Amino acid sequence: AHGMDNAVLRVINKLKEKDMYDNSVIIFLSDNGGVPFQASNSPFKGQKSTLLQGGVRVASFVHAPGRLKQTGISKSGYIHAVDWFCTILSLAGATTNTNDINNNNDKRDEKTIDGMDMWSFLSSPSSSPRQEILLNIDPLCLLTLTDPIPVTLGPHIAYIFEKWKYFEGDPGLTFRGNCFLGDGTEMPVEDSEADWCNFPLNEDGVALIDLANDPLETKNVADKHPGVVTLIKEKIQEYK
């Protein structure tokens, strides 16, 4: 952490030296959750390479001396990694019109950019315009591990819609070597890891989590909300 702090400080000092600091927008974020033996995602389940909250929910901050009227403000809302592209384009005064960006005659799909401009959300009291996130869809995944014992992980999907998070298949695995998530081979785990490893997939390999009331992903409510499951499955079909 000390080395990272020094690296960030060097960037800040250089921006000030070049008289660019007041016109800069500094975005600091992670691309995934940490790994247990080097970081902590507590109290969330999962880690890097999983689709659980500990693997996909990360903190970030934006520092813009010349653009943000208020500082030290905490905001909560969905932002997908793809949204930063449109946000930075907007800040730079560039267009987010896909026809201008593509600058060709390809009319197969007018919306070829998945991201949203999040600057209004970040710089004002407004809420996030994003209400759904495709976390991953992999119908071909086949990962086989042989150490310490044979385990095979298959296709998986994870999708967030409003307060709901939908899983299908394997939500991920840990690389601790003693705890696998999903329908993998049963293995002994330490008591301190038992709750962390447990994940409530139903017999169909599906889970629906109410993130608003269950952010730690402990209860599968798919059987109680079949209409939500059907709606999210229809949304996922649009990506296939």
Q: Which amino acid, 29? A: L
Instruction: Supply the pLDDT for residue 36.
Output: 67
Alpha carbons 174 and 49: distance in angstroms, whole number: 8
Instruction: Supply the pLDDT for residue 61.
Output: 92
Burial class (CB in 10 A: 0-12, 13-18, 19+), 45: buried
Parallel, antiparallel, or unpaired: how do β-strands 164-169 and 156-161 relate? antiparallel
Instruction: Supply the pLDDT for residue 73.
Output: 87
Q: Is the peptide bond before 36 cis (omega within 30 degrees of 0)?
A: no
Q: What is the pLDDT of residues 96-138, one digit of tens each?
A: 665 554 455 554 455 567 889 999 999 988 899 999 999 988 8
Instruction: Supply the pLDDT for residue 1.
Output: 64
Instruction: Supply the pLDDT for residue 123.
Output: 92
Could you confirm whether domain 1-78+131-238 is CATH 3.30.1120.10?
yes
Instruction: Supply the pLDDT for residue 224.
Output: 96
Mean pLDDT by 10 residues, the chain (240 residues): 88 96 94 79 81 89 90 91 92 72 50 84 92 88 58 76 92 48 47 57 86 93 96 93
Instruction: Supply the pLDDT for residue 177.
Output: 41
Which residues lie closer than 8 Å to 90 by C-beta, 6 or more apart? 96, 117, 119
CA nearest neighbour of 215 among 164, 181, 177: 164
CA nearest neighbour of 123 among 63, 167, 80: 63
